[in-house]
């Protein structure tokens, strides 16, 4: 019974099923209930299998990991008590605390799962195969979305990418698979998701800087290819008089966020507008700067642009600020300190063994943690981050396995 393999398959199934659900969401249907249900299901399956395996083998995770798990659990329990004392809704308190401790438990379970060389090779092969399948399905899906938008006149927000595309891009960069590199790069641009495009750009830059072997190939082969593609794009735009903004109007958001405008202020960016509103309410709570607002906190969001007015209570998109505001500065420091330390240690190990495949995944996870998570409330909805982080932590403990993979 391979817990890691089952966690992989559950995550992959969620990604595939995400295509029709995202399309329904673009067309105006509510799909948030399914998302929450499947997130909970992933954890329950992995945790149940771990408990069953532990009862049969009489073996728990090492004491140091149990120690860290107790620390995270205790800090979240304190945050829950603060939320109850502040009078926040009980359901929201349980959801906030539970949805945060569940993926952390998943990480520690996968980190300590038993993986031999055969299982490791199987997981690596599974990830590569699924990445190829995912890219193919995404391209077909992308064509369907554009057909509905341009062919049938259905108007919705053309912003539908997923960060797994960036992980796939880095995996194929590590293998220097030029065809998939081109396909994913075009998909990232046409999908219209600014945060995912930014993540891709940063990941490729960091990976190129860290992996010397890839860097030599990159400058010799990919940069001339990139220049050629840009030149062909410019020629086609001038010839057919069609630009990316005509294909995907959502890309105007990238164009309008111009920090060099004279009248530009940081609060032109909606995410920073959210932080400003949340901080305003957070700072009014007693001792909030020491203990946090508490689990269950929601701020009142108000935004007006022309005739459109939006107002309701909700969570922040920015994960780091959310953690700081909801759970307090102590949890913030422990959380980021622990996981950044783990990722830096993993990067050093894979870099020293010159293992480009696992190094590419480690770069993705570090950029995800430090950059991408600040554009979305990512840690509680994307189990892929925790699964892959646990997997790399597991592998990095076995230097023999790294050298063979």
End-to-end CA separation in angstroms for the chain: 22
User: Could you give the CA distance from residue 3 to residue 305 in angstroms, rounded to a whole number?
Assistant: 48
What sign does the dihedral 69-72-74-80 (CA atoms) show?
A: negative
Q: According to the model, what pLDDT value does residue 237 have?
A: 47
- Three-class SS state of 201: helix
- Compute, in degrees rounded to 10, the torsion defined by CA atoms 323, 396, 111, 49: 150
pLDDT in tens, the chain (405 residues): 688 999 999 999 988 887 787 777 766 677 666 767 777 888 888 888 888 888 877 777 777 888 999 999 999 999 999 999 988 888 888 888 888 899 999 999 999 888 888 888 899 999 999 999 999 988 888 777 777 766 666 555 555 567 899 999 999 988 888 889 888 888 887 776 777 888 888 998 898 888 877 766 666 666 666 666 666 555 544 544 444 444 545 544 444 444 444 443 444 466 677 788 888 888 888 888 888 888 888 877 766 655 445 555 567 778 888 888 889 999 999 999 999 999 999 998 888 878 889 999 999 999 999 988 887 777 777 889 999 999 999 998 776 555 555
Q: According to the model, what pLDDT value does residue 364 have?
A: 94
Strand partners, 304: 309
User: Could you give the CA distance from residue 26 to residue 32 in angstroms, rounded to a whole number?
Assistant: 12
Q: According to the model, what pLDDT value does residue 198 have?
A: 84
What sign does the dihedral 136-215-347-405 (CA atoms) show?
A: positive
* Predicted TM-score (pTM) of this structure: 0.85
- Yes or no: say if 292 and 96 are a contact pair by the CB < 8 Å rule: no
Q: According to the model, what pLDDT value does residue 257 have?
A: 44
Structure tokens at 189: 């641009």
Q: According to the model, what pLDDT value does residue 260 have?
A: 41
Question: Which of 147, 19, 46, 75 shows the shortest CA–CA distance to 294?
Answer: 75
| Contacts (Cβ under 8 Å, ≥6 apart) of 43 | 102, 103, 105, 106, 383
Q: According to the model, what pLDDT value does residue 219 have?
A: 63
């Amino acid at each position: 019974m391979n817990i890691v393999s089952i966690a992989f398959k559950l995550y992959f199934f969620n990604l595939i099923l995400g295509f029709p659900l995202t399309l329904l969401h673009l067309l105006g249907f509510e799909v948030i209930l399914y998302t929450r249900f499947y997130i909970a299901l992933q954890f329950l399956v992995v945790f149940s299998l771990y408990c069953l395996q532990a009862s049969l083998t009489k073996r728990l995770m090492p004491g140091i990991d149990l120690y860290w798990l107790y620390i995270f659990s205790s800090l979240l329990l304190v945050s829950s008590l603060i939320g109850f004392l502040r009078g926040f809704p009980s359901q929201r308190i349980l959801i906030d605390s539970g949805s945060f401790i569940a993926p952390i438990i998943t990480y520690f379970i996968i980190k300590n799962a038993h993986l031999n060389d055969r299982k490791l090779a199987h997981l690596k092969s599974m990830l590569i195969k699924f990445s190829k399948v995912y890219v193919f399905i995404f391209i077909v899906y992308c064509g369907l979305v554009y057909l509905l938008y341009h062919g049938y006149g259905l108007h919705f927000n053309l912003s539908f990418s997923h960060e797994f595309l960036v992980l796939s891009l880095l995996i194929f960069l590590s293998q220097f698979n030029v065809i998939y590199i081109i396909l994913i790069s075009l998909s990232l641009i046409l999908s219209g998701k600014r945060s995912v495009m930014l993540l891709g750009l940063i990941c490729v830059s960091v990976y190129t800087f860290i992996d010397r072997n890839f860097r030599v190939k990159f400058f010799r082969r990919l940069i001339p290819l990139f220049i050629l593609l840009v030149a062909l794009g410019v020629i086609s735009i001038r010839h057919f008089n069609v630009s990316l903004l005509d294909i995907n109007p959502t890309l105007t958001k990238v164009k309008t966020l111009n920090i060099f405008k004279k009248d530009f202020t940081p609060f032109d960016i909606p995410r920073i507008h959210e932080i400003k509103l949340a901080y305003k309410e957070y700072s009014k709570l007693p001792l909030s700067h020491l203990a946090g607002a508490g689990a269950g906190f929601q701020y009142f969001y108000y935004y007006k642009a022309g005739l459109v007015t939006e107002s309701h209570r909700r969570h922040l998109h920015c994960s780091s600020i959310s953690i700081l505001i909801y759970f307090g500065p102590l949890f913030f420091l422990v959380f980021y300190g622990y996981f950044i330390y783990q990722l830096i240690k993993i990067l050093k190990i894979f870099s020293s063994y010159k293992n480009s495949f696992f190094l590419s995944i480690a770069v993705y996870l570090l950029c995800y943690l430090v950059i991408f998570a600040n554009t979305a409330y990512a840690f509680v909805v994307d189990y892929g981050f925790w699964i892959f982080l646990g997997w790399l932590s597991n592998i990095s403990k076995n230097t023999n396995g790294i050298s063979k993979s």
